[in-house]
Amino acid sequence: MIRRPRSGKNNADRRHADGRELTAIERVRLAREAARPQTLDYVERLIDEFFEIHGDRRFADDDAIVAGIGRFDGRPVALVGHQRGHTTAERIKRNFGRPNPEGYRKAARVYELAERFVLPLLTFIDTQGAEPGVGAEERGQAEAIARNLELMARLKTPVVACVIGEGGSGGALALSVGNVILMQENACFSVITPEGCAAILWREASPDKVAAAAQALKLSAPDLLRLGVIEEIVEEPPGGAHRDPNQAARMLGEAIGRHLRRLSRCAPQVLRRQRERKFAKIGDKFVAPVSVEKTRLLE
Amino acid sequence: MAGGVERAGGPAAELWVKCSGCATVAFRKQVERNLNVCLKCGLHFPLTVEQRLVIVADRGSWRQLDADLAGVDPLGFVDWKPYTQRLAQARAAAGRYDAVATGVCEIEHRRVAIGIMDFQFMGGSMGVVVGEKLARLFAYAGRSRLPAVIFCASGGARMQEGILSLMQMAKVVSALARYRELHLPYLSILCHPTTGGVAASFAMLGDLNLAEPGAIIGFAGRRVIQQTTPQALPADFQRAESLLAHGMVDAIVTRRKLRPALATLLALLGHCDKGRARHRPQS
């Protein structure tokens, strides 16, 4: 069911002009690149008749999450994505892509729409994490994210999740419970930012320690493919997606279309079951009863 | 308020405990008889897995599942010391292989599938073993038609297992979503502390969420939040009492009242009859 990346595995081992491979922290910087295409850039290039919807019907609208319905390849789809913003003004308006609970509750509305109207769901993941603020806590950030995980897990419609920038922690996971997770070659996905990890582990976020944390966290696309978390690495134009957004969108669109066509042939219950199995399997090869572990896992 | 219990210094350290909340020194046996709650200020001291079982489970009813399930170091993670070494130390200190114990017990003669997180084991953090054991617990509870009860106490995802630990949130919640369809109750008990990836997954998704008095419950850490605001955070910020006021938990239940409260709720929601759960689909 899972296809290997078409252009082979080497496409992800992007190198510098001098042949040196990108380090983990260099990939993180590329993933955060201000000019890197974001959800709305891909929407503009891949989605026709996009109709953006707003608000969680409880508290507010959250500009850190873009949600709506439209057409992909002529077929109606539902869409949710983080939007960090390109300019300073837009970044402030969008809270640097860090959603509040109302953003996740808006996403939840779209998940429910997708289920009710049998729309495939596309998600674009691009956030350093959910907003860690007083208001976010008081309005139930943890509950909002948790509810999204459950809603996504139950969907009986195809879900294609695309990591297009930085996937940070639970705030990214709330959009990531897909039948497949596609990841652009310079995107990253981690349980914690390298800065946060360095601050906790070494009590300092010096550039050295942050680079070491990025390396240790195994957050690059090839790492995630090896760990069985993602299904495919999507190639980017030379130098990164920001060098040629049109080409990046074509490459991403091709991969999304291929997976959507395949998943759309599956029965609703099969889609849910397959997604469930995908997540049930993640990490299970590193777990075993002790007696087995000694022989099997510890080499 | 939740907090630590300090040992009183000197040779009498084993006999006396000092409350970290009100500094009252009390006879250890007396505090233990009071379910490790301060006799003066009511502060709930941290409990081990075994102590929690004594409080809620009928004597002799506990049977552990997957007790020998263990994990390895999937990323080859090294900070001050290798993760393998951290794991070995935690295992030796805790006498278990990872940060959760799962099993079956009876609460006032009602059989339940129960998971108890162990905060002493690397901060109760959720890695692949915790994720696998909890997912299996929900599957077991579903197969056996048992209500599920989880005592949450965790700082969140286990950083040393990287992205795999994050994905355990989705794994456990997927299993929970399947379990939900059986119309069996899932009660989440939020103990001190329940934060990060555990709060943002199964912990906040109980059919009912009960909290221990004073428990810190939230998504982000206090230090991180403090950086986003110039104001000092209120003293009860992320405390169970504040969550109750904001509508995020159903009730705060003291330790003494927990067992009867669970029995009542299981009877009301669980269609349980002397340990035999019956599934009644919605008509």
Both B215 and B260 in one domain: the answer is yes
Query: Residue A293: its chain B contacts at CB < 8 A?
Result: 70-72
Q: How far is residue A186's CA from residue A207's CA, in Å, rounded to a whole number?
A: 20
Q: pLDDT tens, A161-180?
A: 999 999 999 999 999 999 99
Q: Which residue has the tokens 């029995």?
A: B263
Both B38 and B59 in one domain: the answer is no
Query: Residue A133: its chain B contacts at CB < 8 A?
Result: 220, 225, 228-229
Q: How far is residue A220's CA from residue A25's CA, in Å, rounded to a whole number?
A: 9
Q: Which of B192, B251, B245, B219 lies closest to B43 in space, CA to CA?
A: B192
Instruction: Tell me if A275 sits within 8 A of B174, measured CB to CB.
Output: yes
pLDDT at B226: 87
pLDDT at B229: 82
Q: pLDDT tens, B155-176?
A: 999 999 999 999 999 999 999 9
Q: pLDDT tens, B49-103?
A: 999 999 999 999 999 999 999 999 999 999 889 999 999 999 999 999 999 999 9
Both B74 and B39 in one domain: the answer is no
Q: How far is residue A180's CA from residue A259's CA, in Å, rounded to a whole number?
A: 8
Which helix (H) or strand (E) covers residue A233, if one does? strand A232-234
**Mean of pLDDT values over A179-190:** 97
Q: How far is residue B6's CA from residue A207's CA, in Å, rounded to a whole number?
A: 38
Instruction: Tell me if A189 sits within 8 A of A125, measured CB to CB.
Output: yes
Instruction: Tell me if B145 sits within 8 A of B277, measured CB to CB.
Output: yes
Residues linked to residue A161 through DSSP beta bridges, in sequence order: A123, A181
CB neighbour class for B235 (10 Å; exposed up to 12, middle 13-18, buried from 19): exposed
Q: Please report, for chain A, the start and end positions of each structural domain, with discontinuous segments joined by +.
A: 24-298
Both B28 and B80 in one domain: the answer is no
Query: Residue B240: its chain A contacts at CB < 8 A?
Result: none
Q: Return the structure tokens found at A60.
A: 């507010």
Which helix (H) or strand (E) covers residue A190, if one does? strand A188-190
Q: What is the ipTM of this complex?
A: 0.92
Q: Which residue has the tokens 């929690």?
A: B52
User: pTM of the entire structure?
Assistant: 0.92
**Mean of pLDDT values over B31-54:** 94
Confidence at B272, pLDDT banded by 50, 70, 90: very low
- Residue of A176, A189, A191, A269 best to disrupt the B interface, most CBs of B under 10 A: A191
Both B7 and B112 in one domain: the answer is no
Q: How far is residue A212's CA from residue A176's CA, in Å, rounded to a whole number?
A: 26
Both B40 and B56 in one domain: the answer is no
Instruction: Tell me if B127 sits within 8 A of B168, measured CB to CB.
Output: yes
Q: pLDDT tens, A110-147?
A: 999 999 999 999 999 999 999 999 999 999 999 999 99
Both B124 and B249 in one domain: the answer is yes
Q: pLDDT tens, A64-115?
A: 999 999 999 999 999 999 999 999 999 999 999 999 999 999 999 999 999 9
What is the domain range of residue B15? 1-45
| Beta carbons of A279 and B167 less than 8 Å apart | yes
Q: Return the structure tokens found at A294.
A: 């000694």
Both B188 and B221 in one domain: the answer is yes
Both B85 and B208 in one domain: the answer is yes
CB neighbour class for A57 (10 Å; exposed up to 12, middle 13-18, buried from 19): exposed
Both B150 and B41 in one domain: the answer is no
Query: Residue B166: its chain A contacts at CB < 8 A?
Result: 169-170, 173, 190-191
Q: How far is residue A83's CA from residue A63's CA, in Å, rounded to a whole number?
A: 7
Which helix (H) or strand (E) covers residue B103, if one does? strand B100-107
Touching B: A residues 83-102, CB under 8 Å: none
Query: Residue A297: its chain B contacts at CB < 8 A?
Result: 72
Touching B: A residues 162-181, CB under 8 Å: 169-170, 173-174, 176-177
Mention the CATH class of domain A24-298.
Answer: alpha beta
pLDDT at B279: 47
Half-sphere exposure of B242 (CA within 13 A, CB side): 19
**Domain total for chain B?**
2
Secondary structure (3-state) at A163: strand
User: Is A149 within 8 Å of chain B by CB?
Assistant: yes
Both B39 and B116 in one domain: the answer is no
From B101's Cα to the closest Cα of chain A, the distance in A is 14
Both B162 and B247 in one domain: the answer is yes
Residue A206 in this model has a pLDDT that exceeds 60: yes
